């Protein structure tokens, strides 16, 4: 089994592996190109993003300084908005639904390191996916940790650290983030009915 295969399966892998390191370098170069491309060259910026991401919906808007580890593990729906200085450590998939707004200086970290020093010194790490639903607003400076799922119609308060799953239709905040109020679920329910209708061929 290759180190990349181990990475994809959530196992410990060596991040200095040649194949993984080459893909990381490619993503860093693409990020550098994107960040230095003027905003007025919108078509070129979008082309770079689409070549970097695993999937990207309609009308993306990503500000500089954008950083990611590999790019191909980031999947975003329509209306994806990312403000300044955000970091995506996508050693495992990071999936965003439609109309996700991300404020400045946010981080999405799928990667983790072993607790024992010997494994860390052997350049081993592992990753767990992050999933974010539709119509989510992530406040400034939020950090989302490995393995977290955030539901639909959620607001994450600025400065929060999200270490556990957050259900749909709520506001969550704090370190660690916890639900502090609920939101009306009409939006989520309406979208759920639409999705069910599409499945039924309606």
Residues with catalytic roles: 113
**Cβ(162)–Cβ(178) below 8 Å:** no
Strand-pairing partners, residue 111, are 127
**Rounded to an integer, what distance in angstroms lies between the CA atom of residue 35 and that of residue 64?**
5
**What is the pairing mode between strands 149-150 and 74-76?**
unpaired
Cis peptide before 65 (omega within 30 of 0): yes
**Rounded to an integer, what distance in angstroms lies between the CA atom of residue 27 and that of residue 29?**
5
Cis peptide before 176 (omega within 30 of 0): yes
**Rounded to an integer, what distance in angstroms lies between the CA atom of residue 146 and that of residue 151?**
15
């Amino acid at each position: 089994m290759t180190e990349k295969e181990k990475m994809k399966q959530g196992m410990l892998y060596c991040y200095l592996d040649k194949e993984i390191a080459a893909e990381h370098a490619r993503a860093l170069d693409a990020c550098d190109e994107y960040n230095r491309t003027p905003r007025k060259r919108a078509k070129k910026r979008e082309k770079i993003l689409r070549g970097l991401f695993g999937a990207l919906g309609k009308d993306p808007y990503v500000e500089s300084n954008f950083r990611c580890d590999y790019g191909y593990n980031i999947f975003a729906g329509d209306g994806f908005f990312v403000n300044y200085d955000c970091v995506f450590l996508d050693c495992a998939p990071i999936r965003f639904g439609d109309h996700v707004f991300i404020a400045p200086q946010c981080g999405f970290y799928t990667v983790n390191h072993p607790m024992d020093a010997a494994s860390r010194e052997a350049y081993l790490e592992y990753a767990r996916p992050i999933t974010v639903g539709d119509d989510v607003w992530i406040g400034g400076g939020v950090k989302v940790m490995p393995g977290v799922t955030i539901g639909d119609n959620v607001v994450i308060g600025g400065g929060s650290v999200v270490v556990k799953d957050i259900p749909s239709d709520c506001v969550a905040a704090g370190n660690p983030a916890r639900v502090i109020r609920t939101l009306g679920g009409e939006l989520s329910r309406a979208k759920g009915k639409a999705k069910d209708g599409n499945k039924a061929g309606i």
